Chain A
Amino acid sequence: MTTTPSSDVQTTAGEPAMFPLVLGLDTFGDLTHDKDDHPLSHAQTIRNVVEEGVLADQVGVDFFGIGEHHTDDFPMPAGDVVLGAIAARTTRIRLGSAVTVLSSDDPVRVFQRYSTLNAISGGRAEVVLGRGSSIDSFPLFGYDLSDYESLFEEKAELFAELLKGGPVTWQGTMRAPLRDQDVVPHTESGPFPAWIGVGGSPQSVVRAARHGFSLMLAIIGGSPARFAPFSQLFQQALEKFGRAPLPVGVHSPGHVAATDEQARDEFWPRYLEVIRNVSKTRGFAVPSKQSFLREIGPHGALYVGSPETVAQKIAANLTALGANRFDLKYAMGGLPHEALMTNIELYGTQVIPRVRELLA
């Protein structure tokens, strides 16, 4: 492979583009518990997320993402406000959604909120758009779940137009038309990074490529390696649409503690409880200890363990998937804030340098 010193984006025919390695953290604002295992208030959980974002910046994490949720155990419907608070107290870390449920939102408002975050943070905003695998926002905002496909398609198209900057003219069926509309605030230096989060639909991969969004693979169960063809599909679809290569990222859940045993012991009961709750509405099988151990092993989707264990797994899967970005979804609901702070510190000070070393 040839290198081009003047640019950090290099391509060689037939190989995926090289993008800088990005190692981030995501949270859904999962309700945390105190040391006596009592749930904290929504308000305290939100204030804790601000502290977690600030710590992530201090320990060298590249990106901090907040996923939109609307339930009692994930009280995080306005992550952009929380990101604004983190932006005001940090200078380096990139900030974004993980994901924004675009189907039940207004693309103009999403653009305005993240463009505002981009202004506050001095150009550190990103957005990850998704249908969202939890669907609470649909009844809340009066959308029909059976429209999710057309809602997402149309709104992704409009969002891509808005990102270009300049007056927008657009017409669809899910939102009022726009004619030569100036949408503010303008960004200072072109579009901020925008991704589409994909869970398992190849058509979503092709859609991301068509609109020129980067690809974020949400891998929350089963073998990560089975997503390798998605990465390939994305790059070939970009080529077909005449677009330059774009980065591919991976979002997966996990928990880092000092030792493998401690990480497992802290994470397992919380994971069991959370999945048991969401299985009722989202069709996940309730995990057994055996299925859990498989998921945290080398061929599973969970990154639970010591810094070394987690770093090895991240490095191996980024390589296998042709991806250059990994966002660890930390904060399994019910874990105490203190354990989350330890997780963030270990991730920033030990996991990230080790992954960089392994992939150097």
Chain B
Amino acid sequence: MSDSAVPSPRIAVLGAGHVGPVIARVAVEAGYHVTISASGDPEKIALISRILVPGAEPRWAAEAVADADIVVLAIPLHKFATFDPALVAGKLVVDTMNYWPPTDGVQAMFEDRRYGSSEIVQHRLAQSTIVKTFNHTGYHEVEEERRPAGAPDRRALGVAGDDAGAVDLVAEVVERIGYDAVRLRGLSNGRLFEPGGPVFGASLRRDAFERAVSVEAA
């Protein structure tokens, strides 16, 4: 594929666990330039990358982020406390994580229930612009639930953030991957996507999704 055929933005996926390779794979298939990074030497994830995400480039996180327009944060939330904010300073960061004490244990940083987990991520990554999406779908569904635009059973994904331009950019990626993006103004509205919320784990069309989040917001 020539460079001119590759749509911007360039996407750096951080995390090679359950979620990262899945997001990287669908982003590659949507035609994006995608890198994947774990916490250390890319050589350690070369095999995973080659077999599970053909077409994505394993790179050191810092180098991958420097060249990326969008950084997808797909690390286990309990590792976030030791994640270096400087790594993604100045970047648009997609937060796919959830705070879910029954499965991941209690994380002191996320216990302040006045804020959603992505707002707490934003506080800590103060130099970055956070957009919340993909957190409310199962990683095992991301590939098979994709549909082309206009398909009657195309699933909706919520995209929430404070920066309208960033939300638009991420929404476009979500659409191109194969979902209807429902934009929510304000990262605080990302709380509607959290575990226990009205759309978490639910496969909804756009109209049902919009109803679910607006009823809840009212």
19 of the cross-chain contacts (CB-CB < 8 Å) are A135-B103, A138-B105, A145-B78, A146-B78, A149-B76, A199-B18, A200-B140, A202-B21, A203-B16, A222-B141, A222-B144, A226-B143, A232-B51, A279-B201, A280-B102, A282-B103, A283-B103, A285-B138, A291-B203
Q: Which of B64-121 contact A (CB under 8 A)?
A: 76, 78, 98, 100, 102-105, 107
The yes or no answer to B6 lying at the interface (CB within 8 A) is no
Bound form: Cα–Cα A144–B16 in Å: 22
Q: Which DSSP category, helix, strand, loop or mixed, fits chain B's interface?
A: loop
Asked whether, in the complex, the Cβ of B102 is within 8 Å of the Cβ of A203, the reply is: no
Binds B, one of A22-30, A62-70, A118-126, A233-241: A233-241
Q: Which residues of A contact B98 (CB under 8 A)?
A: 283
Contact status of A201 and B47, CB under 8 A, knowing A222-B140, A226-B140, A291-B203:
no
Asked whether, in the complex, the Cβ of A284 is within 8 Å of the Cβ of B201, the reply is: yes
Q: Which residues of B contact A232 (CB under 8 A)?
A: 51
Could you tell me the distance in whole angstroms from the C-beta of A298 to the nearest C-beta in chain B? 13
Contact status of A281 and B48, CB under 8 A, knowing A202-B16, A226-B144:
no
Beyond contacts A200-B140, A206-B48, A283-B200: 16 other A-B pairs, Cβ-Cβ < 8 A, are A146-B78, A200-B139, A201-B17, A202-B16, A202-B21, A203-B48, A222-B141, A229-B52, A233-B47, A233-B48, A233-B52, A279-B201, A281-B102, A281-B103, A285-B201, A299-B144
For chain A, the bracket of interface size reads 20 to 34
Q: Which residues of B pack against A, CB within 8 Å?
A: 16-18, 21, 47-48, 51-52, 76, 78, 98, 100, 102-105, 107, 138-141, 143-144, 195, 200-203
Could you tell me the distance in whole angstroms from the C-beta of A226 to the nearest C-beta in chain B? 6
Could you tell me the distance in whole angstroms from the C-beta of B52 to the nearest C-beta in chain A? 5
Q: Which residues of A contact B138 (CB under 8 A)?
A: 221-222, 283, 285
A285 in complex: contacting residue of B51, B100, B203, CB < 8 Å:
B203
Nearest to B144 among chain A residues (CB) is: A223
Asked whether, in the complex, the Cβ of B104 is within 8 Å of the Cβ of A145, the reply is: yes
Asked whether, in the complex, the Cβ of A201 is within 8 Å of the Cβ of B18, the reply is: yes
